[in-house]
Chains A and B, each alone.
Chain A
Amino acid sequence: MAQWLSLSEAIFSIVHDGDCVALEGFTHLIPFAAGHEVIRQGRRNLSLIRMTPDLIYDQMIGAGCASKLTFSWGGNPGIGSLHRFRDAVEHGWPAPLQLEERSHSDLANAYVAGAANLPFTVLRGYAGSDLPRVSSHIRTITCPFTGEELAATPAVRPDVSIIHAQKADRKGNVLLWGILGVQKEAVLAAKRSIVTVEECVESLDAPPNACVLPNWVVDAVCLVPKGAMPSYAHGYYERDNAFYRRWDAISRDRGVFQAWLKEHVLGTNDFSEFLRVLGESSKLAASA
């Protein structure tokens, strides 16, 4: 049953060293605040899962939190590379990163299988691709009815899933809308879950088919306004595309990245302080 906790309490009690952790949000509602808190609390040896690692996993990988990454597309959308991810894969810095690489179609459906308590998912996938050649987890299965060969891959079952949503009520029922990605599936596939939200409301007033996660499938709800910045929250604030562009230069160099991380994440107490420091450095960058 969902408890309202501060984000630092939630990460402290729910995310442990060595856990398999998924922070989901497909470009929209990326749980940056939660990822930063994982970095601040110095979690290590995490097996991270995320369809699009994005800047948040670039930061967590560069900060040394991860030993494994399961993903399907690892770039800075519309800009280019994730340099901390690449440095870990190409040079083992700050630590070697084991990869489990899938396609979007596969990984999205692997979350569905996890949520549905199935051991694997089936798809018309990877036809002619070299990916099955380098991944022991992409195999084939023969349809018992038609004899057709299909791709089969293991379900995703994180220890912890973390998402960001627009609203929760006082009882901890969660409502999200807009681009939903695999957030609902990620929460239902996980053993434990944390949801950060933009606001706490008396009543969700959700229409009957809305994406609502009842409080009995969530462990912790945390009030973190703007907790998805610099990604966006539909109806609240827009994506900070200028920061996504700036990240390319910040992340390209180990020293520049470490200085950025120290000033913005390790040297701040919480996300509201991060936003203040980010606001100052963004203003400086804009006037430069």
Chain B
Amino acid sequence: MSDLRYTSDEMMTVSAARMLRNKQICFVGIGLPSTAANLARLTHAPEVVLIYESGPIGAKPPVLPLSIGDGNLAETADTVVSTPEIFRYWLQGGRVDVGFLGAAQLDRFANINTTVVGDYLKPKVRLPGAGGAPEICALAKEVLIVMKQTERTFVEKVDFITSAGFLSGGDARQRAGIPGRGPTAVITDLCILRPEPGSNELTVHSVHPGISHEMIRKETGWAIRFSDRCEETAEPTLQELEVLRDLQMRSAVAHGGAESAA
């Protein structure tokens, strides 16, 4: 047991970063996925290729971008292409290994909702909408999702499927003719979930240190199950924490002082 002190958000970001392998081609969403992907680039995956939907390919931002099209993405990229091209040639062309996304609401079969809470025509909450996610979820070879886990965000069934996970479960995704494998891991501030072989229902594979099964059950809107081989997530290392904190501090300063985009 180490005496490292870290927050549950840091545990989430570090576990998400570890999922990305060196030299993978990764299509990155803004916010948590971008933080995790850049942490991976600055630690164990220096040659990971980060693609942002605004057009930069091979971006190496010195501080975390606040928006999906910050200038530092273009300045540090290997090339910058137009938005139609990024989606048509690079994503639809089959060149993306990993789509790295966040979600407002997620269900037991890893379907993503970023459209509305409530009815589509009379929404309780109007969310930002699809962005690039429907096609990233369908066309990247695999998808990683990083988000905070609460009973409001982890629901039995999403109000609206913006981007497809495993739809109604089982082989529904393949039957719908969706080419990519879909979500292979969901990383939260409590645990790491993976789709169970066969049913494709999200089950807990790794529990973060200090988190009980009861806490996970309480923050999940369905009867969550734990894998037989469920383990404890390795704590963040000192190096991971130092790199992450340094990155977030530099980003907060660059963005005008307030807290960074986590």
List residues of chain A with CB under 8 Å of any chain B CB: 26-28, 51, 71-75, 77-79, 81-82, 85-86, 89-90, 101-105, 108-109, 111-112, 123-131, 134, 149, 178-182, 184-185, 232, 234, 238-242, 244-245
Determine which residue in A51, A71, A178 has the highest number of CB atoms from chain B within 10 A of its CB, and name it.
A178
Residues A90 and B126 in contact, CB atoms below 8 Å apart: yes
Give the residues in chain B near A181, CB-CB below 8 Å.
Answer: 54-55, 69, 82-83
**Which of A78, A81, A86, A101 has a CB less than 8 Å from the CB of B66?**
A78
Bound-complex Cα distance A74 to B111 (A): 20
Q: Which residue of A lies closest to B132 (CB)?
A: A104
The distance from the CB of B186 to the nearest CB of chain A, in whole angstroms, is 17
- Given A104-B53, A123-B92, A127-B164; A90-B135 close (CB under 8 Å): no
A86 partner residues in chain B, CB cutoff 8 A:
125-126
Is A245 a contact of B82 with CB atoms below 8 Å? no
Is there contact, CB below 8 Å, between B71 and A238? yes
Q: Give Cα distance in the complex from A74 to B88, angstroms.
A: 22
In the complex, the answer to whether B71 meets A127 with C-beta atoms within 8 Å is no
Chain B residues in 8 Å Cβ range of A131: 115, 130, 134, 162
Q: Which residues of A contact B129 (CB under 8 A)?
A: 71-75, 101
Answer yes or no: B62 CB below 8 A from chain A CBs: no
Q: Is there contact, CB below 8 Å, between A124 and B92?
A: yes
The answer to whether residues A128 and B139 also contact, given A182-B83, A239-B71 and a CB cut-off of 8 A, is no
Partner of B131, one of A72, A79, A111: A72
Which A-chain residue is minimally distant from B138 (CB atoms)? A127
Cross-interface CB contact of B134 among A112, A129, A179, A182, cutoff 8 Å = A129
Contact of B135 (CB < 8 Å), options: A105, A111, A149: A105
**Cα distance A27–B123 when bound, in Å?**
27
Bound Cα distance from A69 to B30, whole angstroms: 23
User: Among A111, A112, A179, which residue has its beta carbon within 8 angstroms of that of B55?
Assistant: A179
Chain A residues whose CB sits within 8 angstroms of the CB of B178 once the complex forms:
127-128
A149 CA / B178 CA spacing, docked (Å): 11
User: Which residue among B75, B125, B130, B161 has the maximum number of chain A CB atoms within 10 Å of its CB?
Assistant: B130
Residue of B nearest to A233 (CB): B71
Docked pose: A225 CA to B230 CA in angstroms: 59
Stretch of B13-21, B238-246, B250-258 lying at the A interface: B250-258
Judging by beta carbons under 8 Å apart, are B134 and A125 in contact?
yes
Q: Which residues of A contact B137 (CB under 8 A)?
A: 128
Q: Say whether chain B's binding surface is mostly helix, strand, loop, or mixed.
A: loop
Q: List 30 A-B contacts (CB under 8 A).
A: A26-B68, A26-B69, A27-B67, A73-B128, A74-B128, A78-B67, A85-B126, A90-B124, A101-B130, A102-B130, A103-B131, A109-B88, A123-B88, A125-B138, A128-B176, A129-B162, A129-B163, A134-B121, A178-B74, A179-B73, A181-B69, A181-B83, A182-B82, A182-B83, A182-B84, A184-B82, A185-B82, A241-B254, A241-B256, A242-B255
Q: In the assembled complex, which residues on chain A have CB atoms less than 8 Å from the CB atom of B91?
A: 105
B226 on the interface (CB 8 Å rule)?
A: no
Taking A74-B129, A241-B255 as known contacts, 7 extra A-B pairs with beta carbons closer than 8 A to each other, sorted by chain A number, are A26-B83, A28-B69, A123-B92, A123-B135, A126-B134, A128-B167, A149-B177
In the bound complex, residues from chain B placing their C-beta under 8 Å from that of A128 are 111, 137-138, 161, 163-164, 167, 173, 176, 178
- Interface on B for A, CB 8 Å cutoff? 30-31, 53-56, 65-71, 73-75, 80-84, 87-88, 91-92, 111, 115, 120-121, 123-135, 137-139, 160-164, 167, 173, 176-179, 254-258, 261
Cα A75 to Cα B55 in complex, Å, equals: 19
Residue of B nearest to A211 (CB): B82
CA distance A252 to B134 in the complex (A): 29
Q: Across the interface, name the chain B residue whose C-beta is closest to A109.
A: B84
Q: Are A244 and B162 in contact (CB under 8 A)?
A: no
Residues in A with CB closer than 8 Å to B81 are 180
Q: What chain B residues lie within 8 Å of A75 (beta carbons)?
A: 127-129
Q: How far is the CB of B84 from chain A (nearest CB, A)?
A: 4
Are A178 and B71 within 8 A (Cβ)?
yes
A71 to B128, CA, bound (A): 10
Give min CB distance, A75 to chain B, whole Å: 3
**Nearest Cβ distance between residue B124 and chain A, in whole angstroms?**
8
Of the candidates A104, A134, A240, the one whose C-beta lies within 8 Å of that of B120 is A134
Q: How far is the CB of B248 from chain A (nearest CB, A)?
A: 13
**What are the 5 tightest A-B residue pairs by CB atom distance, in nearest-first order?**
A27-B69, A128-B164, A242-B256, A75-B128, A77-B67
**For the complex, what is the distance from the CA of A47 to the CA of B217, rounded to whole Å?**
46
Look across to chain A and name the residue whose beta carbon is closest to the beta carbon of B113.
A130
Q: Given A77-B66, A130-B161, A182-B82, do A105 and B92 touch, yes or no (CB 8 Å)?
A: yes
Looking at the complex, which one of A112, A232, A245 makes contact with B255 (CB distance below 8 Å)? A245
B18 CB to nearest chain A CB (Å):
24
**Residues on the B chain within 8 Å of A242, using CB:** 255-258
Question: Distance (Å) between the CB of B117 and the closest chain A CB?
Answer: 10
